[in-house]
A and B are shown apart, each in its own frame.
Chain A
């Protein structure tokens, strides 16, 4: 194992790289939350034929 070179340390501390890392972290968190929301629940079987019509109550 070799120690990181001084050049690598400088690159990691550059403002642009830090911003990129934060953006990637934010995107990962957003994906995680969105994924968990989407995956929770099995969902139902939507009726795909038929429709609604006015209900007329039978006379008493």
Chain B
């Protein structure tokens, strides 16, 4: 698919159809930021790069087009900003929201996301359209959960598992998450469990396959609970090796992979159909972790720039029509989605 046809086939994400193309700022020129830039370029959206390491922004602009911003204050003049810098992102996002800039943030840190979700009043006052947790998990997980929830009459449980990390900052966050406190929504109340506990063998789409997954300090339960308050149980797990768990409370012993690696997300939704029959649906996506996260963030940024996102703070999975539009864009961007066709029980 060439660039133009890709842009034209994603209804609603065609830049320049009603005037000059918007300019979207990308704060953070790492693995995820560059994936954002790549998708936006395919959509025909102009980009402006900012990174605390100017050389990274220059390299990204040479590779994916766009201009380089010298100061973070320059981000206040663009149509929307995708924040892909390392966590915490709250200070940067808060300043942009106060300036009335539309913001998409990719943080998966629970405390960071909680602060950003509390920006609702400030976003409404400033007229900012803000999407929190638009990456992989949270992010694509919410879109997939919405796709499954629409097939059910009642929703009881949503369980998410993720494999892989994006860039080095994402890998450090994954490392820290295994040593943190994992929150989960359980029968009407928040529960906390130690990160690295609750082992569960989760099957991801090929070529990832099975991987042991554990509770971790992820923002996904908070995001999913906000989007699906009717679900009685919400949990999130990340894959980890025994070495990951053993060394989680120590500094990272080995440097993270500079370019990230292949990753996957898996969403399981349990509920009932209209006739009362119990159902469990499982869908997943596989690809380079940074690409998956960057695609979701880029599409939400385009939606913000086109005012398809309401004023205020929102999360993936919260608005069915918008989520479906973004999910269509994700597929057209080349992300492979898969559904599990079996039954989660052992063969006797």
Task: List chain B residues, Cβ under 8 A from A40.
Answer: 197, 199
**Cβ distance B207 to chain A, nearest Cβ, rounded Å:** 11
Task: List chain B residues, Cβ under 8 A from A48.
Answer: 342, 345-347
Task: List chain B residues, Cβ under 8 A from A19.
Answer: none
Partner of A52, one of B202, B338, B344, B346: B338
The reply to whether B214 and A43 contact each other, CB–CB distance below 8 Å, is no
The reply to whether B201 and A43 contact each other, CB–CB distance below 8 Å, is yes
Number of A-B contacts (CB under 8 A): 74
Task: List chain B residues, Cβ under 8 A from A52.
Answer: 205-206, 284, 338-341
Task: List chain B residues, Cβ under 8 A from A45.
Answer: 344-346
- Contact pattern, A 17-34, Cβ under 8 Å of B = 1, otherwise 0: 000000000000000010
> How many chain B residues touch A (Cβ–Cβ < 8 Å)?
33
Q: Mostly helix, strand, loop or mixed at chain B's interface?
A: mixed
The answer to whether the Cβ of A1 comes within 8 Å of any Cβ in the partner chain is no
The reply to whether B344 and A47 contact each other, CB–CB distance below 8 Å, is yes
- Contact pattern, B 316-346, Cβ under 8 Å of A = 1, otherwise 0: 0000000010011001000011111111111
Task: List chain B residues, Cβ under 8 A from A60.
Answer: 324, 328
The reply to whether A55 and B197 contact each other, CB–CB distance below 8 Å, is no
Task: List chain A residues, Cβ under 8 A from B203.
Answer: 46-47
**Cβ distance B328 to chain A, nearest Cβ, rounded Å:** 7
The reply to whether A54 and B337 contact each other, CB–CB distance below 8 Å, is yes
The reply to whether A41 and B198 contact each other, CB–CB distance below 8 Å, is yes
Alpha-carbon distance between A60 and B328 when the two chains are bound, in angstroms: 10
Partner of A50, one of B246, B324, B340, B346: B340
**Cβ distance B216 to chain A, nearest Cβ, rounded Å:** 13
Task: List chain B residues, Cβ under 8 A from A33.
Answer: 246
Task: List chain B residues, Cβ under 8 A from A43.
Answer: 199-201
**Cβ distance A49 to chain B, nearest Cβ, rounded Å:** 5
| 5 pairs, CB–CB < 8 Å, chain A vs chain B | A43-B201, A49-B345, A50-B343, A55-B338, A57-B328
